């Protein structure tokens, strides 16, 4: 199956990587003690690892090229996976949805499986599901790469923290305020940058995200600087005092509710006039304008709706952890949310949910791998773009199939 | 007045270093139209390689000049190799893909490299050995401008001159300009476009490595995360000058360096990075083509 030429190529690659990673992987110097540590075993790992990975990489690349050439000549049908077939059937879709919801609702009460710690992790994963779905509106549907998404999340979190700290406002009052304020920020950011092309837009949003974080860090009078705000109240439950365990389970149920509501909204939004305008915008901006779609309005709607969800989850985040500081809102956080959307499949709701659960839960349960988490996220972004740009469970492009009638063909 | 001159010179030094990194952005953008997000990481790897080599050599007691030359050489060789490899893995398979795919891939590469250095080395700040001695002839003005600043300015100028000559007068430079004007046409007249793209990455990465060495010995410490901020700032400089234009990158870098220097000197040092980011946002909004860039019109 693998020819001698392939093996030789891989051997060259592995030697190249041994050379490439030599200073960083093998040598470790301590300038204070003036000692050098030579870690030759790392070189062996690199050689063996890159040898096999290069074979796999080339094989996958080869397969991808065959597939694209097949697609271009129209031989293969659009990828219809098992999940897609289930989802296209209304009855099985309802069954799947109800059973998933039942599992989610029963989760905190499962013996052996769940503990306060587990429920907490699940809550975090659900928060990322909503964040992913929010970013999916901007990146997946409207095709605007937003690298500063975490800024809106920060706006929501700080809105609740500050209003709670200064005025003692409760969770339920601030929840809509946080969302609306974040949406407003989305419009403020969106308004001037909409003229920009895709990659410039990405960089400006990145800059915007960093500005928000730096301001929060440095404007001590306003945000209490890097030390952050603590003792934020947890969400109230009809005025009843909850114990810590109860409060955690309560927030978990809130998140389940938010996820359901978000899925409902995003799903409806996708099929609405606005949703179709977003998809048209993503596919071709100029053609979309020519069809009479108001580019400005459509883009602003995407930005502000995406930001709205981030703001809501920001409020939940502040209420859940009861402590926030600017360190929670770095660019890496934006990158994690982006990885979720990219891994799951841009524009696909089920994909984003799947992506969030995989990327957040997997590192939590594989503790040994937790420190490689960000390394893996980076690799996921690259590999997904190279081999499967549509994501694990990609959205199916709606295709209008034209079946010529007899009348049409004869004329 | 003296304070003003001090700020002016420190701004020029900053600008010189930004220019070394910004060139990599602008050259890659000029040729394949991609924002090479991982470029800041190449600079970081250059700084790390030179740190490792310099520390080993100083432990074994090599003379200072040999350390500088060997550390610089190692930084250039390894950074160039990383640049070459990154292009082959993360960008080449995406030549025909939409622009956003390549950008996301570049962001992934940047995160990957940061964490690779973090895991293989350390998350702590490491003290960078002082490679550039205080020259005796600089004594009288040492309180205004340090010897390191002088070395940075001179090195950057030489590097720019060499680059200009390469781009303007050599065969490979001609091929690079042709590729950036029209890739298909360049292919038709027999230019090996893949090779030219590789060469561009190698040259850009080498420049970044020199920048890494210089800035690390200027600041005196390094860390796995220095690439991100430096990368963003250099990108700002490249956009400010007009991305894709080599003289523009230098001009933009100097403007950015001076802006930062004066803003921190006269306004507030807390918001040093905010100035750079705000400048970036403002340019992109009001003059996306930059100071010396060409206006591109879009076609269907």
Interface of B with A in 190-209 (CB under 8 A): none
Percent of chain A residues topping a pLDDT of 90: 15
Query: Residue A408 pLDDT more than 80?
Result: no
Q: Are B274 and A198 within 8 A, CB to CB?
A: no
DSSP assignment letter at A324? B
**Do A68 and A91 have their domain in common?**
no
Q: What is the pLDDT of residues A307-348, one digit of tens each?
A: 999 999 999 999 888 888 888 888 888 988 988 888 888 888
Query: Residue A300 pLDDT more than 80?
Result: yes
SS3 B291: coil
Of A206, A375, A377, which is closest to B119 when you measure between CB atoms? A375
How many beta-carbon contacts under 8 Å exist across A and B?
176
Place of tokens 């234009």: B245
Query: Residue A12 pLDDT more than 80?
Result: yes
Strand partners, A28: A37
Would you state the pLDDT for residue A1?
A: 56
Q: Are A371 and B235 within 8 A, CB to CB?
A: no
**Do A62 and A101 have their domain in common?**
no
Place of tokens 């977003």: A278
pLDDT band at A115 (very low <50, low <70, confident <90, very high): confident
Is residue A392 included in any domain, yes or no?
no
Q: At what angle do helices B193-219 and B2-32 cross, to 10 degrees?
A: 160
Which structure tokens are listed for B244? 């894709």
Q: Are B273 and A214 within 8 A, CB to CB?
A: yes
> What are all long-range contacts of B265-272, with beta carbons under 8 Å and residues at least 24 apart?
B265/B3, B265/B7, B266/B7, B270/A218, B271/A214, B271/A218
DSSP assignment letter at A240? B
**Do A178 and A269 have their domain in common?**
yes
Would you state the pLDDT for residue A411?
A: 44
Q: What is the pLDDT along chain B (300 residues), one digit of tens a residue?
A: 778 888 888 889 889 989 999 988 888 888 888 888 899 999 999 999 999 998 888 888 888 888 888 999 999 999 999 999 999 999 988 888 887 788 889 989 999 999 999 988 888 888 887 777 777 776 666 666 778 888 888 888 998 889 889 888 999 999 998 998 888 899 999 999 999 999 999 999 999 999 888 888 888 888 888 888 888 888 888 888 888 788 888 899 999 999 888 888 887 777 777 888 888 778 877 877 777 776 665 554
Is residue A207 included in any domain, yes or no?
yes
Is residue A15 included in any domain, yes or no?
yes
Is residue A29 included in any domain, yes or no?
yes
Would you state the pLDDT for residue B248?
A: 87
- Reference A372, options B114, B226, B47, B107; nearest CA is B114
pLDDT band at A80 (very low <50, low <70, confident <90, very high): low
**Do A65 and A167 have their domain in common?**
no
CB B175 within 8 A of CB B186: yes
Which structure tokens are listed for B188? 């038709």
Is residue A406 included in any domain, yes or no?
no
- Residue A222 contacts B where some CB pair is shorter than 8 Å: no
CA atoms within 13 A on the CB side of A188: 13
Is residue A403 included in any domain, yes or no?
no
The domain of A201 spans 86-387
Q: Which of A72, A95, A114 is the last residue of a domain?
A: A72
Helices (H) and strands (E) in chain A, counts: 17, 2
**Do A63 and A92 have their domain in common?**
no
Of B121, B298, B300, which is closest to A28 when you measure between CB atoms? B121
**Do A265 and A346 have their domain in common?**
yes
Residues of A in contact with B113 (CB under 8 A): 378
- For chain B, which domains are there? 2-133+144-286 (1.10.3470)
Would you state the pLDDT for residue A158?
A: 92
**Do A38 and A139 have their domain in common?**
no
Beta carbons within 10 angstroms of residue B293's beta carbon: 20
CATH of the domain at A263: 1.10.3470
Would you state the pLDDT for residue A94?
A: 81
**Do A15 and A164 have their domain in common?**
no
pLDDT band at A239 (very low <50, low <70, confident <90, very high): low
Q: Are B103 and A204 within 8 A, CB to CB?
A: no
Would you state the pLDDT for residue A78?
A: 52
Of A31, A197, A381, which is closest to B55 when you measure between CB atoms? A31
Segment of A72-86, A111-125, A254-268 carrying the highest mean pLDDT: A254-268
pLDDT band at A21 (very low <50, low <70, confident <90, very high): confident
Q: Is the dihedral of CA B229, A311, A132, A385 positive or negative?
A: negative
Pairing, β B221-222 against β A27-30: unpaired
Mean pLDDT of the A9-13 span: 88
Mean pLDDT, chain A, rounded, equals 83
Q: What is the pLDDT of residues A131-184, one digit of tens each?
A: 999 999 998 888 888 888 999 999 999 999 988 888 878 888 889 999 999 999
What is d(CA A303, CA A186) in angstroms, rounded to the nearest whole number?
Answer: 5
Which structure tokens are listed for A205? 């949003």
Residues of B in contact with A61 (CB under 8 A): 93
Is residue A213 included in any domain, yes or no?
yes
What is d(CA B231, CA B208) in angstroms, rounded to the nearest whole number?
Answer: 10
CB A180 within 8 A of CB A308: yes
Residues 6+ apart with CB under 8 A from B76: B46, B206, B209, B210
Residues of A in contact with B22 (CB under 8 A): none
Q: Which of A18, A41, A72 is the last residue of a domain?
A: A72
ipTM of the complex: 0.85
What is d(CA A327, CA A324) in angstroms, rounded to the nearest whole number?
Answer: 8
**Do A230 and A91 have their domain in common?**
yes
Q: How many domains does chain A have?
A: 2
Query: Residue A77 pLDDT more than 60?
Result: no
Would you state the pLDDT for residue A410?
A: 47
Residues listed for chain A: 411
Is residue A157 included in any domain, yes or no?
yes
Pairing, β A27-30 against β A35-38: antiparallel
Strand partners, A324: A229
Interface of A with B in 314-333 (CB under 8 A): 331-332
**Do A220 and A166 have their domain in common?**
yes
**Do A51 and A130 have their domain in common?**
no
**Do A110 and A145 have their domain in common?**
yes
Would you state the pLDDT for residue A406?
A: 60
SS3 A168: coil
């Amino acid at each position: 199956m693998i020819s001698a030429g392939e093996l030789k190529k891989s051997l060259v690659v592995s030697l190249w990587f041994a050379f490439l990673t030599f200073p960083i992987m093998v040598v470790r110097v301590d300038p204070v003690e003036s000692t050098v540590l030579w870690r030759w075993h790392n070189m062996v790992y690199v050689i063996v690892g890159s040898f096999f990975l290069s074979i796999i990489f080339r094989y996958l690349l080869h397969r991808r090229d065959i597939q694209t050439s097949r697609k271009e000549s129209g031989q293969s049908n659009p990828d219809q996976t098992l999940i897609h077939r289930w989802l296209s059937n209304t009855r099985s879709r309802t069954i799947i949805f109800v059973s998933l919801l039942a599992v989610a609702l029963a989760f905190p009460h499962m013996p052996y499986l769940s503990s306060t710690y587990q429920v907490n992790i699940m809550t975090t994963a659900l928060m990322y599901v909503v964040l992913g779905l929010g970013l999916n509106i901007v990146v997946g549907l409207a095709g605007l790469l937003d690298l500063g998404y975490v800024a809106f999340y920060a706006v929501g979190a700080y809105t609740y923290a500050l209003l709670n700290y200064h005025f003692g406002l409760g969770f339920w009052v601030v929840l809509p305020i946080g969302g609306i304020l974040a949406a407003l920020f989305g419009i403020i950011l969106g308004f001037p940058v909409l003229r920009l092309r895709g990659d410039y837009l990405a960089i400006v949003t990145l800059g915007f995200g960093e500005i928000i974080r730096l301001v929060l860090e440095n404007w001590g009078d306003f945000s209490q600087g890097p030390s952050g705000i603590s003792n934020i109240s947890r969400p109230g439950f009809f005025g009843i005092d909850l114990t810590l365990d109860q409060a955690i389970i309560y927030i978990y149920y809130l998140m389940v509710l938010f996820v359901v509501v978000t899925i409902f909204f995003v799903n409806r939004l996708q099929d609405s006039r606005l949703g179709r305008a977003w998809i048209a915008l993503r596919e071709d901006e100029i053609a979309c304008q020519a069809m009479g779609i108001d580019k400005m309005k459509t883009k602003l709607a995407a930005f502000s709706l995406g930001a709205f969800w981030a703001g809501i989850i920001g409020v939940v985040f502040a209420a859940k952890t009861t402590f926030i500081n600017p360190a929670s809102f770095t660019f890496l956080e934006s990158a994690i949310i982006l990885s979720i959307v990219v891994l799951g499949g841009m524009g696909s709701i089920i994909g984003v949910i799947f992506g969030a659960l995989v990327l957040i839960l997997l590192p939590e349960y594989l503790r040994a791998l937790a420190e490689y988490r960000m390394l893996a996220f980076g690799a996921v972004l690259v590999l997904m773009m190279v081999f499967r740009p549509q994501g694990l469970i990609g959205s199916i492009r709606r295709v209008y199939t034209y079946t010529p009638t007899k009348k049409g063909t004869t004329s | 007045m003296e304070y003003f001159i001090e700020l002016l010179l420190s701004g020029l030094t900053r600008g010189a270093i930004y220019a070394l990194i910004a060139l990599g952005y602008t050259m890659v953008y000029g040729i394949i139209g991609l924002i090479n997000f991982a470029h800041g990481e190449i600079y970081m790897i250059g700084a790390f390689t030179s740190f490792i080599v310099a520390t080993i050599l100083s432990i074994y007691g090599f003379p200072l000049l040999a350390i500088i030359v060997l550390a610089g050489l190692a930084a250039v060789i390894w950074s160039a190799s990383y640049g070459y490899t990154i292009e082959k893995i993360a960008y080449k398979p995406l030549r025909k893909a939409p622009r956003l795919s390549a950008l996301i891939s570049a962001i992934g590469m940047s995160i990957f490299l940061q964490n690779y250095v973090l895991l293989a080395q350390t998350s702590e700040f490491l003290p960078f050995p002082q490679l550039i001695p205080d020259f005796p002839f600089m004594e009288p003005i040492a309180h205004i401008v340090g010897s390191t600043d002088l070395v940075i300015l001179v090195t950057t100028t030489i590097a720019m001159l060499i680059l200009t000559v390469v781009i303007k007068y050599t065969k490979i430079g001609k091929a690079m300009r042709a590729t950036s004007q029209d890739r298909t046409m360049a292919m038709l007249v027999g230019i090996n476009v893949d090779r030219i793209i590789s060469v561009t990455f190698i040259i850009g990465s080498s420049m970044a490595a020199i920048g890494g060495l210089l800035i690390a010995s200027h600041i005196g410490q390094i860390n796995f995360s220095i690439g991100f901020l430096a990368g963003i700032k250099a990108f700002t400089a490249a956009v400010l000058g007009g991305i894709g234009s080599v003289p523009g990158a230098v001009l933009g870098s100097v403007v950015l360096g001076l802006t930062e220097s004066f803003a921190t000197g006269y306004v507030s040092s807390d918001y040093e990075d905010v100035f750079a980011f705000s400048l970036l946002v403002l340019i992109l909004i009001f003059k996306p083509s930059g100071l010396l860039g060409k206006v591109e019109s879009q076609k269907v």
